[in-house]
Amino acid sequence: MAAAIQMTSRADWSENLAQAEEWIELAARRGAELVGLPENFAFLGDEAEKVAQAATLAQVTEKFLKTQAQRFQVTLMGGGFPVPAGPDKVLNRALLVTPDGQVAASYDKVHLFDVNLPDGNTYQESGTVLAGRAYPPVVDAGDLGHLGLSICYDVRFPELYRHLAQQGAEVLFIPAAFTAFTGKDHWQVLLQARAIENTAYVLAPAQVGSHTARRQTHGHALIVDPWGVVLADAGDHPGLAIAEINPKRLAQVRLQMPALSHRVFL
């Protein structure tokens, strides 16, 4: 079983992590062995404050992920959260932690959300975030499958997920803080597209609701199967999307629709 957690994170990191712990515990109690937390789960507030607190946030968040993974014996993905990258920038980093509390992989978000939306909101992620420079990793998690990492805005760049598929990914993590404006039209269809074209499961934790005066997120944390079927949807309140990741189903879909082996342009 896998769980995609949905949260309404704000500027108080201690409160955010306390809420995250409650959802991780609930997911584990419901049988989840693979658990994902959304982008900005530890902090979602003023950008200057994020940079000022980055050293503390990086330290407490990594320790939190290791402790929770070990405590509840789950493979835990948290992403992303700020990690210092100079005097006025941070990296937006996702970590994958094993049940023994070890970091199996990290990924620094490469595609930054610099967008002027028709609703009047402007997002300039590159103002405080330094883009990563490397493809996300794929991790062999045994019975849980081969796990590929990404973060939020990455979902609009299919070449990244094709690379993950070429590296053997069977489950694609897409943790997000998708805006309410874009989410209503694009979130689900993008996740289904990434699942279908790569015949892979998609695990997409999400932020939901109001975080600051001008920041609202779409919610609807989803788990999507390799055929594009939505297996679980957390709706528009904090909660869980939880569903089975079935290796037999994955193998069946890849046998029925062997598109990955039919690629002409590599």
Active site residue 62: no
Q: Decide if 59 is inside a domain.
A: yes
Q: Decide if 263 is inside a domain.
A: no
The least confident of 23-27, 58-62, 115-119, 190-194 is 115-119
| Amino acid 160: pLDDT | 98
pTM of the model: 0.97
Catalytic residue among 33, 50, 152, 170: 152
**What is the mean pLDDT of the segment spanning 117-126?**
88
pLDDT of 120 > 90? The answer is no
- In the block, which residue shows the tokens 């990244």? 160
CATH value at residue 72 = 3.60.110.10
**What is the mean pLDDT of the segment spanning 198-206?**
98
pLDDT of 106 > 90? The answer is yes
Q: How far is CA 250 from CA 225, 230, 254, in A?
A: 8, 14, 6
Please answer whether residues 117 and 140 qualify as being in contact, where contact means their C-beta atoms are separated by less than 8 angstroms.
Answer: no
Active site residue 25: no
How long a stretch of residues is the chain? 266
Residue 87 CB contacts under 8 Å (≥ 6 apart), including other chains: none
Domain span at residue 73 reads 2-258
Q: How many domains does the chain have?
A: 1
Q: Decide if 247 is inside a domain.
A: yes
The pair of three-digit structure tokens given for residue 44, joined into one six-digit string:
């979602």
Catalytic residue among 39, 62, 66, 170: 39
| Amino acid 87: pLDDT | 87
Catalytic residue among 33, 62, 66, 109: 109
Q: Decide if 265 is inside a domain.
A: no
| Amino acid 76: pLDDT | 98
Active site residue 39: yes
Q: Decide if 266 is inside a domain.
A: no
| Amino acid 95: pLDDT | 98
Q: Decide if 197 is inside a domain.
A: yes
Higher pLDDT, 110 or 120: 110
* Full 3-state SS string of the chain: CEEEEEECCCCCHHHHHHHHHHHHHHHHHCCCCEEEECCCCCCCCCHHHHHHCHHHHHHHHHHHHHHHHHHHCCEEEEEEEEEECCCCCEEEEEEEECCCCCEEEEEECCCCCEEECCCCCEEEHHHCECCCCCCCCEEECHHHCEEECCCHHHHHCHHHHHHHHHCCCCEEECCECCEHHHHHHHHHHHHHHHHHHCCCEEEECEEEEECCCCCEEECCCEEECCCCCEEEECCCCCEEEEECCCHHHHHHHHHHCCHHHHCCCC
Q: Decide if 264 is inside a domain.
A: no
Nearest of 18, 22, 66 to residue 42 by alpha carbon: 18
**What is the mean pLDDT of the segment spanning 175-184?**
97
Pairing mode, strands 146-148 and 171-173? parallel
Q: What is the CA radius of gyration of the chain?
A: 17
